[in-house]
Amino acid sequence: MVKYWEIETEIEKGYLYIMCGIVGYVGEKNVAEVLTKGLSSLEYRGYDSSGVALLADGKTKVYKAEGKLQNLKDLLATKESEIKTANVGIGHIRWATHGVPSIKNAHPHTCNCGKLAVVHNGIIENFKELRAKLEAKGCVFQSETDTETVAHLVAQKYNEVKDLKEAVRLATKELEGAYALCIIHQDVPNTIIATRRNAPLLIGVGEGENFAASDVPAIIEYTKKAIYLDDNQVAILKADSIQIFDADNNEVKQKVELLPWEPIALSKMGYKHFMLKEIHEQPDVIRNFLSGKLHSATEPIKLDEVKLDKLKLKNLNRIQVVACGTSLHAALVGKYIIEELCEIPVDVEASSEYIYRKTVTDEHTLVIGVSQSGETADTLTAVKQSKARGSHILIITNRPDSAMAREADSLVPVNAGIEVSVAATKSYVAQLMAFYALALHLAEIKESADKDEIQTIKNELLLLPQKIELLLSKTDKIQKCARMYSSSKNFIFIARGINYATALEGALKLKEISYINATGYPAGELKHGPIAMLDETLPVLSIMMSGKVYEKILSNAQESKARNARMIALTDSTDEKLDELFDYVLNVPHVHELISPIMAIVPLQLLAYHIAEFLGKDVDQPRNLAKSVTVE
C-alpha cells in the first residue's frame, strides 16, 4: 500500500489516480460507439483525459484525447474509415490528482511493439521497482504512469508463454496494489483479458457480445446480466464465450447476477441536470426505503438486515461510525438520533483519520460504515481494520454490489437508485433514512425511548415524502435567493443540535458545485472566532428548525445581524417577526425536530444547485471531483 506519509509525494509525482473508468467490448456493434457511450456514463468517475484501443484490420490502434470525453468522440469521428472493421476494443477515462493530464499519460498504454494495449484503474504500488527491471531488459517507457509497467510486463510474459490469459495471470502475480485491467493484443483477435484486485470490474454478459466495465451504467443499455469478478480472477472474453480462472489457473464456475438497474435511471428525464433530477427523486427515495419496513406508526419497524441477535443488540455498549464527505454528515445525524433514542454512545469519525491511529474497537463495538458508492478506499480500509478486531460490521450503502457491502455482517442497502451527479443528494437522504430506521429498531429492542415519541417519529417519517413534495413544488423563492447571493465569495451556514450536520452538508454542497468558499459552524461557536469575519458582504444562513434550540439559534442570528451580515433564514416557523431580522426567509413545511435534517437539507441542495447553475458551472461534474474515491 502507499503509506499515508507517502501520499503527498506520490501525488506530487502525478502517480495517484483517484478514480478512472474502464470499458471493454467484444462483438458486432460499432465498437468505438459502445466504448465512448460506456465511458460517457462513467464520466462521473473522473474526466481529465480519455482513450480507446481497438483491433481493426488486424492491428492495435490507439486513440487518446485530453480534456472532456467529447474531444475523444470528435477524434474518433475523423477516424471512421480506420476503425470500422473493429470488433473488439477497450476504453478508459482518467482523472489524475496532480500534474497536467496529457495524451502521453492517458490510457490505453502499449508495449514497445505496440501490439498489446492495456487500460487500468488503481495503483501499481511497486511500479518503480518493476519499471527499473523492465528498463534494464530494454523496455522503453513513453509515460510517467504506473500502468505502462503492466503493458511491458504482460507483453514480456506473452513472448515467453504465447498465451495472453496466462501472461496476464503470471504478470499480475508480480503486481502490488490495486488494479482493474482490460488487455487486448493484436495477435489474439476477438479477445479481451480482464482481471481485478481491490478495484471494481464487472463483466456484462450479452448475446453474441460481451462487455467489461468499472460500473453498471456503462453496460446497462445492452445487458442486465453481469458477473462480478473476485480479486485475482482472470477472465477471457470473446463475443460468444466467457471463461474465468482463479489465481492458480483453475477454471471457476460463473455466477451470473441480474442487475437491478433500468436504463431509464440514467436519463435526465427532462431535468437540466442529473443533480436536479436526483433532488426531485427524494420523496420517492423515502417511500422506497420505508416500503417493507414501516407501514404504520403503530407497528414495530422491520429491519431484518441487522443480523445481530437481540441479546447482542441490547448489550451493545458502543457504536463507531466511519464515513467520508456527505456520508460523514449523515453519520453525524445518525449519532444524534441513536444517542437520543437508544442511550448508546456513538462516535463518528472521518475514515481517513480513523485508519491511521490506534482505535479501540473490539467485539463489543458495532462498527457502521456509510458510503454511497461502497468503494471509498478510506472507509473500506477502516471497515476492514475493525472487522479484523472482531467488531460486527454494518454497512449502509447505495451499492449492495460494492466492495464494502462484501465486508458486511449486516448490510443495509438504501436503495436510492443510481446517483449520477457527483454531488450526493438523494443518497444522503436515503442514508439518513437508514439511520432513522436503525435508531428506531434499536430503541424498540432496548425499550430505551418513550413509546409515544417513537410513534410520533414514525408518523412523521411516513408523512415526510408529501411534505417534501410540497416544498419541491414551490422553489421560486429559493431560485431568487440563489440569484441574489450568487456573487458572494464566502458563505456561512450556522445551526445547532441535530442540524449542525445540515449546516456542514449545505456548505459542502455549495462548495462542491459553485466553488464558493462555504463553512458550516455550530451557531454557538460563531462568537468564538468566526464572528470576526462578518460584515455587510458575508451571507450567514441560519438553519432554524422548531425545537429545543430554536430560540438559541435565533439569538446567534441576532449576533450576526448586529455585525451587519447578510441574513438568510431557513425555517419551518411561521413567526412573522423573522421577516424583520432576515433579508430572506426560506420556509419549509413544519416537521418534528428529530426529523428536521431530512427536510432542511432539501432547500440547501436547491440553493447550491441554482447558484451553480446561475454561475454556469458544470453542475453534475464539478472540477477536481470524482464520484467515488477508490484509493486512500
Min dist. Cβ of residue 409 to ligand AGP (A):
19
Smallest CA-to-CA distance from 486 within 617, 581, 325 is with 617
**What residues from 474 to 533 belong to the interface with ligand AGP (CB under 6 A)?**
512
Burial string for 330-358 (b: 16+ CB within 10 Å, else e) reads bbbbbbbbbebbbebebbbbbbbebbeee
Q: Is 424 in the site for ligand AGP (CB under 6 A)?
A: yes
66-74, 188-196, 251-259, 322-330 -> range binding ligand AGP (CB under 6 A): 322-330
Q: Which residues are CB-neighbours of 374 under 8 A, at least 6 positions away?
A: 395, 397, 398, 399, 400, 401, 402, 403, 404, 405
Cα 496–chain centre separation: 27
Which grid cell sits at 389?
Answer: 478486531
Q: Is 490 left (phi over 0), alpha (psi -120 to 50) or beta?
A: beta
What is the helix (H) or strand (E) element at residue 339, kind and residue range?
helix 325-342
Q: Is 327 in the site for ligand AGP (CB under 6 A)?
A: yes
Q: Is 405 in the site for ligand AGP (CB under 6 A)?
A: no
Q: Is 325 in the site for ligand AGP (CB under 6 A)?
A: yes
> Any idea which residue has 462542491 for its cell?
512
Task: Give the span between the Cα atoms of 275 and 261, in whole angstroms.
Answer: 18
26-34, 117-125, 291-299, 422-430 -> range binding ligand AGP (CB under 6 A): 422-430
Beta strand 517-522 with 490-495 is parallel
Which grid cell sits at 134?
Answer: 523492465
Report the residue number, 176 or 618, with the smaller CB distance to ligand AGP: 618
How many residues are recorded in the chain?
632
Which grid cell sits at 188?
Answer: 489474439
3-state SS assignment for residue 158: helix
Report the residue number, 375 or 572, with the smaller CB distance to ligand AGP: 375
Min dist. Cβ of residue 351 to ligand AGP (A):
8
Q: Is 209 in the site for ligand AGP (CB under 6 A)?
A: no
DSSP string computed for 256-268: EEE----GGGGS-
Secondary structure string (H, E, C) spanning 55-101? EECCEEEEEEEECCHHHHHHHHHCCHHHHCCCCEEEEEEEEECCCCC
Report the residue number, 180 or 424, with the smaller CB distance to ligand AGP: 424
Min dist. Cβ of residue 379 to ligand AGP (A):
5
Would you call 627 a catalytic residue per the annotation? yes
Among 405, 422, 438, 601, binds ligand AGP (CB under 6 A): 422
Min dist. Cβ of residue 242 to ligand AGP (A):
29
Q: Is 630 in the site for ligand AGP (CB under 6 A)?
A: no
Cis peptide before 108 (omega within 30 of 0): yes
Min dist. Cβ of residue 358 to ligand AGP (A):
23
Min dist. Cβ of residue 381 to ligand AGP (A):
12
Would you call 481 a catalytic residue per the annotation? no
Q: Is 433 in the site for ligand AGP (CB under 6 A)?
A: no
Among 31, 205, 423, 454, binds ligand AGP (CB under 6 A): 423
> Any idea which residue has 415519541 for its cell?
453
List the x/- string, 379-398, binding to ligand AGP by CB under 6 A: x-------------------
Q: Is 376 in the site for ligand AGP (CB under 6 A)?
A: yes
Among 41, 147, 156, 372, binds ligand AGP (CB under 6 A): 372
Task: Give the span between the Cα atoms of 290 and 284, in whole angstroms.
Answer: 10
**Identified catalytic residue from 335, 511, 617, 627:** 627
Q: Is 621 in the site for ligand AGP (CB under 6 A)?
A: no
Min dist. Cβ of residue 515 to ligand AGP (A):
14
81-89, 306-314, 421-429, 518-526 -> range binding ligand AGP (CB under 6 A): 421-429
Q: Which residues are CB-neighbours of 620 under 8 A, at least 6 positions away?
A: 44, 273, 274, 275, 420, 421, 422, 423
Min dist. Cβ of residue 626 to ligand AGP (A):
8
Report the residue number, 378 or 572, with the smaller CB distance to ligand AGP: 378
**Identified catalytic residue from 20, 111, 139, 342:** 20
Min dist. Cβ of residue 200 to ligand AGP (A):
12
Task: Give the span between the Cα atoms of 218 and 614, in whole angstroms.
Answer: 30
The number of residues that bind ligand AGP (CB under 6 A) is 16
Please list the residues that pair with 543 across neighbouring strands: 570
Report the residue number, 26 or 424, with the smaller CB distance to ligand AGP: 424
Task: Give the span between the Cα atoms of 410 and 299, in whole angstroms.
Answer: 22
Q: Is 629 in the site for ligand AGP (CB under 6 A)?
A: yes
Report the residue number, 39 or 324, with the smaller CB distance to ligand AGP: 324
Positions marked catalytic = 20, 627
- Which residues bind to ligand AGP, rule: CB under 6 A? 324-327, 371-373, 376, 379, 422-424, 512, 625, 628-629
